[in-house]
Structure formats: C-alpha cells, structure tokens
Amino acid sequence: MTENTTRRDFLALMSVLPAAGLAPAVVAQTAMPVRPIPATGENLPIIGLGSSKVVQEIATAGEEPLRQVLRTLVAHGGKVVDTWPRDEDNDAGFGRVINEPELRDRLFVTSKIDQVGEEAGIAQFERTRRLYGRDVIDLVQVFSLTDVDVHWPNLRAWKESGAARYIGVTVAEASLYGELESFLEREHPDFVQINYSITERESEDRLLPMAADRGLAVLINRPFMNGAYFRRLEGTPLPPWTAEFDCTTWAQFSLKYILANPAVTCVLTETSNPEHMAENAATALGPVPDEGARQRMRELIATV
C-alpha cells in the first residue's frame, strides 16, 4: 500500500480478508507507509512505539501488555520500538518478549546511554545487549545529550564493530536545542530524536530543517506531551473539518500534523493499550493535512 491509501480503504480490505482465507495481521504488515533512513536508504514504518512506560510497568502488570502492544504494532506494519534501560528485571522481561519467535525478526530495536562517565556508558550498553538478548542493537542513542562528548567515540566504535547498526542522540525539551545544534555542527549521527507535536512546535524553526539538510533520520518523541495534550483537550469536540484529512481522534490530530512534516522519519507513540496502538498505527494511512490545514490546526490549538 502507498501513503495515499485511505484508512477507509484499508478497513474495507481487512473486512473481506477472512472470507478470502487470509489473516488480517499478515496483510496488515505491508500496510503502513515507510520513509527512508537517509544514511542507508533502509525504510522504516512511520509510526513506532515509545516503550519506556509499558516496559517500566512489567514489574506490576507483567509482560502481557507489552506483548499485546508489540503484536498490534507489528500486525499494522510497524516495527520501531524505542527503549530506555531502567532496571534489570524489567529490561530482562522486555528482552524475553522481543525475542519471541513472532517478534524477533520484525522489530527495529533502539536503546539509549544515559550514564555519566565512559565506563558507566560501556557497562550500560553491554548490560543492554545481554538483557535484550541481542548482540546487535539497531540504534544506540545518547539520551538527552548526557555526557555526549565522552560517549560519542564509543558509539562510533560500536557501529564500526557491528554491535550497533545506527547511532544517534536524543532531546526531549527545547532547552537542549542549542546544545543539539552545536553537536550537529561538529558530528554527523545517523539519527536524531526530537520532541515535536501540534502543541510543541519549536523544533520546526531550526532543528527539523537542519536534520533534513544534513540527511539525518528523525524520530519524534512526546507527540502527546506525555499525556498533557489529552488533558488540555478534554471535553473539546474534534472539528468536523478534520475529516478532510481522515482524522477521527485528537491523537490522530497531533500525529497527522507531525507526519505532514517531510523531515520526520518515524513518530514514537507511547502506550500500554493495544487499542490505542492500533488507533495510532491507523493514522499512518490516508492523507496528511496540507499547509493550509496545518495553519488551521495551529490556530485551533491556540484557542484551547
């Protein structure tokens, strides 16, 4: 399917699959549009999972919520799973789930280094590989630029040795944008991860254009501002004109705004609910708003 496939067309197709003797999940794996990683041309589906919340909840809720969310992501053609190492028990649970036969070869798994000091960073990476059960991590990132000048040579070495396929850095707040710009002026990561949403648009001014100019893949975090977005919109009806770009929920409102920016490679949606994961994945289907509609969206959100 192409980026012009509508959500309506996709749902209609899915409804006839059982009669044809086909499993919806199998066909759905090809449904989500993709965008290339500039460094290699490898394609990534445009909706992924920011899994820190559901992984952190393994201690209280067990592994099944994570398993169901990942199954839903994969069934809808997604594969990017962004993680943040927390503690050994939860990370070991994450490793068990991502290595189950139905998931192992269908995920693009990332991790982060968030420690201060070279030895601590190396130890964290080796622990992550062990707990995740993977000799090769698809993407290793320096979390919030923590001790980035110390860790970056090691990330380059891990990529050169094959322990990491791609390397990058992350930020999740505008206060780090200046530091990120300075880093990008002297280094060339494969990926940058940036906070961006209809309600957090500062990265539109310089960072997203800079990433596009430098040929960097861009992962987006905080598309819903860690839930603050929904609290802000509680009780507000979705305007009828959003149907023009196949938008049916406030979650899709922010996601479609983000996906309309061609600098974005993949949006990481944080959820522990398979239904919400399916809704987020469906946003990838159908049209995105044009610039006129995006201006209307900005004007609307300013009044809420």
What does the radius of gyration of the chain's CA atoms come to, in whole angstroms?
19
Report how far apart, in Å, the C-alpha atoms of 159 and of each of 44, 79, 126, 141 are. 19, 21, 14, 11
Mean pLDDT along residues 159-184: 98
Say what percent of the chain tops pLDDT 70: 90
Is residue 93 very low, low, confident or very high in pLDDT (cuts 50, 70, 90)?
very high
> Which has the minimum average pLDDT: 6-15, 23-32, 128-137, 184-193?
6-15
> Which has the minimum average pLDDT: 16-25, 147-156, 175-184?
16-25
Mean pLDDT along residues 191-202: 97
Residue 1 has what pLDDT? Answer: 37
Residue 289 has what pLDDT? Answer: 97
Q: Are strands 164-170 and 34-36 parallel, antiparallel or unpaired?
A: unpaired
- What count of other Cβ atoms lies within 10 Å of the Cβ of residue 70? 26
What mean pLDDT, rounded, does the chain reach?
91
List b or e across 226-264, with b for residues whose CB sees 16 or more CB atoms inside 10 angstroms: eeebeeebeeeeeeeebeebbbeebbbbbbbbbbbbebb
Residue 15 has pLDDT above 90, yes or no: no
Residue 176 has pLDDT above 50, yes or no: yes
> Which has the minimum average pLDDT: 29-43, 154-168, 231-245, 274-288?
29-43
> Which has the minimum average pLDDT: 35-44, 50-59, 162-171?
50-59
Q: Per residue in 218-227, pLDDT tens?
A: 999 999 988 8
Residue 3 has what pLDDT? Answer: 41
- Which amino acid, residue 27? V
Residue 106 has what pLDDT? Answer: 97
Instruction: Give CA 76 to chain center in angstroms.
Output: 14
Residue 55 has what pLDDT? Answer: 95
- Which amino acid, residue 30? T
> Which has the minimum average pLDDT: 2-16, 70-84, 167-181, 242-256?
2-16
More confident residue, 11 or 91: 91
Q: Which domains does the chain have, with CATH numbers?
A: 42-223+264-271 (3.20.20.100)
- Alpha carbon distance 27, 93 (integer Å): 29
